A and B are shown apart, each in its own frame.
Chain A
Amino acid sequence: MQLIQINETELTLSHQKLGTLKKAGLGLVGLGTLFLLLALTGLATNSPVLFIVLSLGLMTGGAFISFYAQRKEEPPGIKNNQIWQKSFTARGSAAWILGVAVTGFYIVLYWFPDLLEHWIRMVDPVAYVLYNGPADQWFLYGFFYTVAILIMGSRMILVKYRHSNYQKIRTASIMFFQTGFAFLIPFVLKALNQPDFYFTYFWPLKYDYLFPGTVDYLLSHPGGLGVFMVFWGAVMTFLATPVLTWFFGKRWYCSWVCGCGGLANTAGDPFRQLSDKSLTAWKTERRMIYSVLVFIIVTTALLWLNSIYSGSVLGSLSQGFKKTYGFAIGAMFSGVIGVGFYPIMGTRVWCRFGCPMAAYLGILQKFFSRFRITTNGGQCISCGNCSTYCEMGIDVRWYAQRGENIVRASCVGCGVCSAVCPRGVLNLENGPRENRFSILNAFYK
């Protein structure tokens, strides 16, 4: 008995040590945040590099220390412990504070960028390295965004889903596309005096990529790159998207490439359970997202008619559209509500209710795809983990407990339902389309 007592003390001790290490890590993150806030006051102006190290450096270092402690503390596996008991992840006051702070950041970013002047100057050195020019608010935003995806993506790979190769590879892909295609390449293009272009965003998400104005501009750009960009955009929208979705479902984009999904699946991961699973939410979702898609299709068509009939259809309205829509959808929806409300409404609000690309991919996925989530026979115990952790608010359990496969337009194929299921009931699969919806036998007669 004596012996066991000792063992236990040791056990608690090592747990305590790790607990302390984790706290130390989080403390460093806090300290880094403090420096970041201090930088806003202008303290960083004379020594921007020092402040980048003090803020982002400490935050990164602290985060990795806490990842290390968490790895040591628990064996690999799903550990959603206390998620619905902590203020931060269960819509408590901490969540509201964070939500207000992030929303505030977006409002300042879009409407009062001057307030961010000191931060922008702080990241100047990075901008100079990349494109040999001063930073602006969008560079600052892109930089923060990418850092968030990289740090929190590392958490997914090193800690939370380290038992799941699907999650590890998928997260690495998100990190790669964000860093390379949504951050580095556009700024390198800028350095080379090439048009501003994102190779991983296409019409209808980047609705203006197929507007006559943009196409004309790109085509008239000296050098072949502009022509290639028009070609690339059209091929991605009309050829690559349907083909890839046919084989893999919309996940090839939403969970492997897209930066919005990327942020949701990394920085947003602690909040994915907050999505609304009700039938009412599903109805609202369908109404909204397809309206946005229709709106963009109609507008694009009108703009082309307008340009063919040289302005006689719409007059100067097209510019007006760009502005209003860009504001309503681009700023309000995808930024302020889409990200600012993570801690309140969950991570994929924009992807679910507002993204026209998701709408397009969703139609393809529902009707023209080999993808489905297979339910493993009668193994579901209706526990509800899958539905709770579905960021798209899909009531996965509804299908699983009936032994039905899940074929839903909105499913982004993040694979988390499959990961959290304690009975191994769900599997994301691409396969023959016969019986894709049907009970028990997706593949086997």
Chain B
Amino acid sequence: MDHLVIIGNGISGVTAARTVRKTSKMKITIISGETDHFFSRTALMYIYMGHMKYEHTKPYEDWFWEKNGINLIKGWVEKIDTDNKYVEMKDGRIINWSKLLLATGSQPNKFGWPGQDLPGVQGFYSLQDLELMEQNTAGIDHAIIVGGGLIGIEVAEMLHSRNIPVTFLVRENNFWDIILPEEEAKMINREIVEHGIDLRLATELKEILPDKNGRVRAVVTDKDEEISCGFVALTVGVHPNISLVKNSKIETGRGVLVNDFLETSVPDVYAAGDCAEIIVPGEARNRIEQLWYTGRMQGESVGKTIAGKRTKYERGIWFNSAKFLDLEYQTYGFVSNIPLESENSFYWEHENGKHALRIVYKKENRAVTGINVFGIRMRHKVCENWIRERRPLEYVLTHLRDANFDPEFFKRHEQAVIDHYNKKNPQNKLQLRRRRLPAGLFSE
């Protein structure tokens, strides 16, 4: 019988295992060194904040695995032999496989700063990092976060929940403006400051200084400013975790190199999730997707392939979502941080600075290509359809109500958005359409 061995029990590996199990009886083993059971990495912050305990972050109860015939092994794989088709564990155990899936995830980046390995300085990715952070932040009275991305702001929120004063060093001129247009980035700047977090934009880390016991004492910024602290979080992105694969015959680049079917250079060996680098013929740069959603979609796709139905990984129309402190964010399609030559964008922001909507469209035919939305929940399916069907901006605006996904009785902003458009385009005034669904009393 075929034996599928999966290294990594994250969303990619687990989704693949579940997908295989739906159609195949092959033996499945998942190996991971981090935890006994699959847990939600995205929920790590909530454990620190006390919203949940570790056990709540496990998406399946512990009986689930045995019931579905999925073996779990806790431990680290140290060697992959693709000629004789086995992996060797740190404790010496040998596990044979007929198919191997690499789903080893990522590792936090470090850029060689002096002092980056001092006690009290750490990245934030794994459950072990969380435990370390628990120790590292006990009793401190100031923390520094380096790097303004999605993980950085989560760490800021975590520390803030414990009333630990935070200084946030962000290289960019506005928060996350390598992804977000300026208005949205500025909105997040304000959100951060409003929470009492000391945000330092356009500021980089130069070095980290130890105290006499060799523990972190302060950081020095590129402006030669010294800020004392008891804790430094380095959240400057992640890179594929491929140290294990590098010593095997499987080809790697920045990640494990795979084709559109998530097959590696070695037959019967696959890779999915954060660790995979998808070769894109005709594009300058290969794709590495480091998201929960893409991990799930890749896991599903590679699972089908492994189970015998060779399936191309197609991620469909892009979407993502996040929460910046209390500000919810969703994005659909593609919104460039710096406007593209061929595109225009429509932007509305509520005067209270807590709600915003950006719709990007093609100059030539006004077809909508991307949406950013803050402080309003929108319906995934509707936004996706608009983009797929290349609906023009005006169509999207007049049908905005169809996409609203805010809870009942929330203040609706569609009319304000339309008014904003009409003010700018007095010659082409739009009228908001009625919501297309028959609504009960409670839902309008």
- A residues lining the B interface (CB < 8 Å): 1, 4, 7-8, 11-12, 15, 75-86, 163-166, 168-169, 247-248, 278-279, 370, 374, 376-379, 381-385, 387-388, 397-398, 401, 415, 418-420, 422-424, 427-432, 440-441, 443-444
Apart from the given pairs A7-B198, A11-B165, A84-B51, 7 other A-B contacts in the complex at a CB distance below 8 Å: A165-B407, A379-B380, A384-B56, A422-B328, A428-B407, A431-B437, A431-B438
Q: When each residue 127-149 of chain B gets 1 if its CB lies under 8 Å from chain A and 0 otherwise, what string results? A: 00000000000000000000000
Q: How many A-B residue pairs have CB under 8 A?
A: 165
Specify which chain A residues have a CB less than 8 angstroms from the CB of B63 in the assembled complex. Answer: 279
With contacts A423-B323, A430-B439 taken as known, whether A397 is within 8 angstroms of B59 at the C-beta atoms is: yes
B49, CB-defined interface residue at 8 Å: yes
B433, CB-defined interface residue at 8 Å: no
Q: Is the CB of A443 within 8 A of B437?
A: yes
Specify which chain A residues have a CB less than 8 angstroms from the CB of B439 in the assembled complex. Answer: 430-431
The distance from the CB of A316 to the nearest CB of chain B, in whole angstroms, is: 47
Complex Cα spacing A387 to B322, Å: 19
Q: Which 8 pairs from chain A and chain B are nearest by CB?
A: A377-B380, A430-B440, A77-B326, A424-B377, A165-B409, A383-B43, A82-B50, A85-B50
**Chain A residue at minimum C-beta to C-beta distance from B38:** A382
The distance from the CB of A422 to the nearest CB of chain B, in whole angstroms, is: 5
Q: Is the CB of B321 within 8 A of A84?
A: no
For chain B, residues 126 to 182, give those with C-beta under 8 angstroms from any C-beta of chain A.
Answer: 161-163, 165, 167
With contacts A82-B161, A385-B52 taken as known, whether A376 is within 8 angstroms of B380 at the C-beta atoms is: yes
Specify which chain B residues have a CB less than 8 angstroms from the CB of A248 in the assembled complex. Answer: 440-442
Complex Cα spacing A415 to B410, Å: 13
B429, CB-defined interface residue at 8 Å: no
With contacts A1-B225, A75-B195, A422-B323 taken as known, whether A385 is within 8 angstroms of B381 at the C-beta atoms is: no
Specify which chain B residues have a CB less than 8 angstroms from the CB of A7 in the assembled complex. Answer: 198
Specify which chain B residues have a CB less than 8 angstroms from the CB of A444 in the assembled complex. Answer: 379, 381-382, 385, 402
Specify which chain A residues have a CB less than 8 angstroms from the CB of B161 in the assembled complex. Answer: 79, 81-82
Complex Cα spacing A166 to B436, Å: 22
**Chain A residue at minimum C-beta to C-beta distance from B385:** A444
The distance from the CB of A126 to the nearest CB of chain B, in whole angstroms, is: 34
Q: Is the CB of A382 within 8 A of B11?
A: yes
Q: Is the CB of A164 within 8 A of B52?
A: no
With contacts A166-B409, A379-B319, A427-B405 taken as known, whether A432 is within 8 angstroms of B195 at the C-beta atoms is: no
Specify which chain A residues have a CB less than 8 angstroms from the CB of B49 in the assembled complex. Answer: 80-82
Complex Cα spacing A39 to B225, Å: 61
Complex Cα spacing A130 to B226, Å: 68
With contacts A76-B326, A431-B443 taken as known, whether A81 is within 8 angstroms of B196 at the C-beta atoms is: no
The distance from the CB of A445 to the nearest CB of chain B, in whole angstroms, is: 9
Specify which chain A residues have a CB less than 8 angstroms from the CB of B319 in the assembled complex. Answer: 377-379
**Chain B residue at minimum C-beta to C-beta distance from A11:** B196
- Most chain A CB inside 10 Å of its own CB: which residue of B225, B321, B384: B321
Q: When each residue 391-422 of chain B gets 1 if its CB lies under 8 Å from chain A and 0 otherwise, what string results? A: 00000000000100111111100000000000
**Chain B residue at minimum C-beta to C-beta distance from A395:** B61
Contact sample, A vs B, 28 pairs, CB 8 Å cutoff: A1-B226, A11-B165, A81-B51, A83-B50, A84-B53, A165-B411, A169-B409, A247-B440, A248-B440, A248-B441, A378-B293, A378-B319, A379-B330, A381-B40, A381-B42, A383-B40, A383-B57, A384-B56, A384-B58, A387-B56, A398-B59, A401-B59, A415-B407, A422-B323, A422-B328, A428-B408, A431-B440, A432-B438
With contacts A11-B165, A376-B405, A382-B42 taken as known, whether A81 is within 8 angstroms of B328 at the C-beta atoms is: no
Q: Is the CB of B405 within 8 A of A424?
A: yes
The distance from the CB of B255 to the nearest CB of chain A, in whole angstroms, is: 22
With contacts A80-B51, A379-B321 taken as known, whether A430 is within 8 angstroms of B46 at the C-beta atoms is: no
Complex Cα spacing A247 to B440, Å: 7
